[in-house]
Structure 1
Amino acid sequence: MDKVAEILAEASAEVVEPRFRALAAGEVMEKAPGEVVTVADREAEVIIERRLRELLPVPVVGEEAVAADPALARALHSEPAVWLVDPVDGTSNFIAGRPEFAVMASLVRAGQTVAAWIWQPVTATCYTAELGAGAWRGGHRLTRPPAPAVPAKWRGSVKSRFLAPADHERMQRNAHAAFGEVTPGRHAAGIEYPDIADGELDFILYWRTLPWDHAPGSLLVTEAGGVSARLDGSTYRPEAPGGVDGLLVAADRDTWEHVRTVLFAD
């Protein structure tokens, strides 16, 4: 666990942090319509991939490599073990000079996330989780307390912009009517999932669930005592892009059930 944490922190220090608020002209590119990438994303992924393979020689499914060759993501279903890597989670924040970004990795065995690492460079904070062994922030073990007893005091985020407009509007309307504070999110899963584990938020609904974004945080939250499940209640497992949509993350099972009921009410 410590070695992977070191790999992420070192790659961040080598090629990500020096470019924070210092990106040069030409170091930001569009990799797909509406999707941007930086030189830092690409260089960090190369470093992390090489060092992870030295540690455990299994396929690496990295966000930027899959953008270039989507077939690489099939390893999640065809290989017994796979590394998942998000070299700069929250790239839009990184480009804008906002501090909410992270460097993330996870290990998936037989389709299940068994270990996760989230490095937040600006605060030098490392979150880790291991299946059956707990979730940690640095040397502090995380135990997620239950959400407040009254839903009107809950804080959460409903990230529904990939839904049809009518469904998006209905969910937003339902959430704002039922809960204490509904935020637009922080545009980085590597910041938002720790917010759930730390008790800063009580729930988040995600619609698009790219595996490198959600495998690390889902394990962190569940090992801290929270819930991360598909909308049918099934346990989250990382899927290749284009697979299952919809993921609800919450402080506890009762909160999860209530939020799902509220959001999908007609």
Structure 2
Amino acid sequence: MLMEKVAEILAEASAEVVVPRFRALTAGEVMEKAPGEVVTVADREAEVIIARRLRELLPVPVVGEEAVSADPALAHALESEPAVWLVDPVDGTSNFIAGRPDFAVMASLVRSGATVAAWIWQPMTATAYAAELGSGAWRNGERLTRTPASARPGDWRGSVKSRFVDPAERDRLRSNAAAFGEVTPGRHAAGVEYPQIADGEQEFIFYWRTLPWDHAPGSLLVTEAGGVSARLDGSTYRPDPPGGEDGLLVAADPATWERTREILLGVRA
């Protein structure tokens, strides 16, 4: 019941305050919340609606992207509370503002520091992804099982998200990435990129900055579909407050994860 209810909450909040503003934002509805970071009234209003309704389902703290922007201390509930909701009301805000359809509404449930349930709603394609720890991953109710990638890196398609990486390391990553078949800068929305791994559209993604509301939902989706989402040292990804550990590699299967790390970082198991 919880899985269905949360999916309904995301879709309904999106229909109420997000989709009506797609390609209809006014100048006063887009604000800068930090240097280089923008927010819209749709982000803020959707988070309020989603947070209220999630607390009605399960009365635990809600760590929302916009609430944490206003009060960073809220994110420490991820470390101090036994259970926490994570909310990203509009993932891919820059796409949303630009009128590009690559954005999503996301939530996840974290217990004792581990993501146990996740939801991704892509409004413009009416596509719902969900995952539950130990139970599997689904797209619009259909079970997802990721087919292992080819053994040849030259066949692989992936993304290297290096915006926040040190410039020298960024150059090295880009140079090493030439070994792969196709490398893109990504879709600028984790709620679109992670499903591409689960759906078999690409083989890997390298991330550096890992804000918890961006990565908890997709990481669980990929791992429950049979893929891997792990820190660069191979340790299991766990959502932590902003400012924690950087670096995350997501891949179609364990062998692809190891080979991608070896190529990109020059690290052998």
- TM-score with structure 2 setting the length: 0.98
- How far does residue 18 in structure 1 lie from its aligned partner after superposition? 0.1
Structure-2 residue corresponding to 1:161:
163
Are residue 42 (structure 1) and residue 54 (structure 2) matched? Answer: no
**1:109-146: CA deviations, max 9, x gaps?**
00000000000000000000000000000121000000
- How far does residue 265 in structure 1 lie from its aligned partner after superposition? 2.7
Letter matched to residue 18 of structure 2: V
> Which runs of structure 2 are paired with 1:166-245 in the superposition (5 Å)?
166-176=168-178, 178-245=179-246
**1:85-131: CA deviations, max 9, x gaps?**
00000000000000000000000000000000000000000000000
* SS of 2:14 mapped into structure 1: helix
Name the CA distance, whole Å, in 1 between partners of 2:174 and 2:149. Answer: 20
**1:166-192: CA deviations, max 9, x gaps?**
10011011002x100001100000000
Percent identity (aligned): 82
* SS of 1:237 mapped into structure 2: coil
Name the CA distance, whole Å, in 1 between partners of 2:80 and 2:174. Answer: 38
Structure-1 residue corresponding to 2:137:
135
Letter matched to residue 166 of structure 2: A
**Aligned pair partner of 1:76 in 70, 75, 78:** 78
Letter matched to residue 50 of structure 2: I
**Aligned pair partner of 2:89 in 78, 87, 90:** 87
**1:4-30: CA deviations, max 9, x gaps?**
000000000000000000001200000
- How far does residue 163 in structure 1 lie from its aligned partner after superposition? 1.0
- How far does residue 255 in structure 1 lie from its aligned partner after superposition? 0.6
Structure-1 residue corresponding to 2:153:
151
**Aligned pair partner of 2:55 in 53, 56, 62:** 53
Letter matched to residue 170 of structure 2: H
Structure-1 residue corresponding to 2:98:
96
Stretches of structure 2 lacking an aligned partner (at least 5 in a row): none
> Which runs of structure 2 are paired with 1:243-254 in the superposition (5 Å)?
243-254=244-255
Name the CA distance, whole Å, in 2 between partners of 1:227 and 1:108. Answer: 18
Letter matched to residue 159 of structure 1: K
**1:51-108: CA deviations, max 9, x gaps?**
0000000000000000000000000000000000000000000000000000000000
* SS of 1:122 mapped into structure 2: helix
Name the CA distance, whole Å, in 1 between partners of 2:117 and 2:100. Answer: 28
Structure-1 residue corresponding to 2:263:
262
Name the CA distance, whole Å, in 2 between partners of 1:24 and 1:245. Answer: 35
Name the CA distance, whole Å, in 2 between partners of 1:20 and 1:9. Answer: 15
| Superposition CA RMSD, Å | 0.8
Letter matched to residue 78 of structure 2: L
Letter matched to residue 79 of structure 1: E
- How far does residue 149 in structure 1 lie from its aligned partner after superposition? 1.9
- TM-score with structure 1 setting the length: 0.99
Stretches of structure 1 lacking an aligned partner (at least 5 in a row): none
Name the CA distance, whole Å, in 2 between partners of 1:181 and 1:61. Answer: 36
Structure-1 residue corresponding to 2:25:
23
Letter matched to residue 149 of structure 1: A
**1:240-259: CA deviations, max 9, x gaps?**
00000000000011111111
* SS of 1:107 mapped into structure 2: strand
Name the CA distance, whole Å, in 2 between partners of 1:59 and 1:195. Answer: 30
